[in-house]
Every structure is written in structure tokens, then in C-alpha cells.
Structure 1
Amino acid sequence: MPKLETRRVAVKNFQRPDEIREFEGKGRVEILTLAGRDVARGTFEPGWRWSRNVKPIAGTDLCEVSHMGHCVSGRLRVMMEDGSSQEIGPGDTYAIPPGHDAEVVGEEPCVMLDFGEVGDYAKRR
């Protein structure tokens, strides 16, 4: 794990992300890098599903990224490879292990902040 810089405050804003990764339609993820760590803001539009809109980019059958974050708005259903599922909504803070699919629930975009292992999320290989 990278060592955090303890003597300097780092401030960035999603108005000017370090990187933008577009999905295969229906949204994107914006990345900020601070103190050697990545923070992501994902915007998932109605109709978005990982297996349709990110799988072609990731090249894996399921999302193999570990997510730790907070849902700002909208709803997302996460389906684990064991068949279990969980819905995440506004105000929920979550930890999602690797091995999942996900989809937007309803007609409102889902916006999530992710502090997990997002360095390679939706990154073309």
C-alpha cells in the first residue's frame, strides 16, 4: 500500500478529474489521485449493467474489483456470483467484494463515490 503524505494537504475536485473512463454507453467513472490513492465518482445511467457496459472493457466474466464507497443518489443492485444480491441506495455506505455483476435500479442515474481498488476499474486492457 502506498504511504500517505502526512505533511501536506491534497485537495482535488471532480470538476477537473485526473482521468475519465467512459463505459460502453450509459455512464462513466471519473478518477482523482490523491496521496498515491485513487478515488472514483461513478455515474451509472438508467439501463446500465456491468455485464453489458463494463465487461467488454474489463475482459472478465464478473467485476473483479473490490469496492468501498458511498451512494450519493440513485439505486444499484449488486449480484454476487453465489446468487445473493443486495440493493444500495442514497446514503448507503458499502463494501463489495470481487466477483459480482451490478445494475441500475429505476429511472434515476446512480452516483457513487468509491475509495476501493478502483485504479484499474473500467480501464481498457
Structure 2
Amino acid sequence: MPGIVRKNFDSADETRPFEDGKGRLDLVNTDKGPVGRAVFEPGWQWSKHIKPIAGTDSCEASHAAYVISGRMKVVMNDGSEGDVGPGDYFSVEPGHDAWVVGDEPCVVVDWAGFANYAAPAGSAS
């Protein structure tokens, strides 16, 4: 195994588009597991643009992520909520909705929750 592995999201192993052209997930596969970069366009909301793909009532992925740019609001099924923005690391447990806040795309890198994100129903959300 080489001491340095380099992958570039612009040459992702897989790209998954979101509904209505509201963004995409670029996924790179590593020996330590998949890492994803998602671009959530203004107007994107999980319940509108991923729910039809995932087939679950809320996002059932657990996220460990870093926000590169833009802002997002996350609301848990129990009603607790929080906003994340540039420079923030955040973790979110399964059972939530989320949406872009403002007019700038929200770009997020996630090490935990994007393996099956935006994959067809039955794969996870």
C-alpha cells in the first residue's frame, strides 16, 4: 500500500445528482471508506430533493462533516435544530431534514454519511 493516496473530487469515482438539478454528490472511494463532497444549491431541501431518491421519511444517514462554503439549517425529528456554515465541523445523527439557507451553494465534505446518500431507495439515505 502506498504511503500517500491522492483523489480529487473533480474526478470522483461516482457522481449522484439531486432531484430538480439542486446539486450533486461527488464520491471518492478510499481504503478507509468513501468520502463525499456535496454541493447543495440554493433552494435545496432534503425532504424535497433527496427524500424521493432515498424513500425514507427523513435522512437516515449519520454525518461527520465539514462545511466549505454556504449555510445549512438542520432540524432533527425531535424538533432540535442548528445552523452550520463555513469552517464548521458538525455531526448529525439519523432522523433529520436540512436545507440551504441563503443564495449561496452549501458545499460539504462528509467522511461518514455519504456512502449511500442520494442512492436509489433501499440503499439508505
TM-score range, shorter chain: over 0.9
Unaligned runs of 5+ in 2: none
* CA RMSD after TM alignment: 1.1
4+ runs of 1 displaced by more than 3 Å? none
1:13 aligns with 2:11: no
TM-score normalized by the length of structure 2: 0.92
Residue 48 of structure 2 corresponds to residue 28 of structure 1: no
Q: Residue type matched to 2:37 in 1?
A: R
- CA contact 1:11–1:34 (8 Å) conserved in 2: no
- Measured after TM superposition, the shift of residue 15 of structure 1 is 1.4
Task: Return 5+ residue gaps in structure 1 as ranges.
Answer: none
What TM-score do the two structures reach when normalised by structure 1? Answer: 0.92
Cα offset for 1:90? 0.3
* Inter-partner Cα distance in structure 1 for 2:65 and 2:32: 18
Give the % identical residues: 48
- Give the structure with the larger helix fraction: 2
Instruction: Kindly state the Cα deviation for residue 36 of structure 1 after the two structures are TM-superposed.
Output: 4.3
User: How many residues end up aligned between the 2 structures?
Assistant: 120
Distance 2:107 2:113 in 1: 17
What SS does structure 2 have at the residue aligned with 1:15?
helix
For residues 47 and 116 of structure 2, the distance between their equivalents in structure 1, rounded to whole angstroms, comes to 16
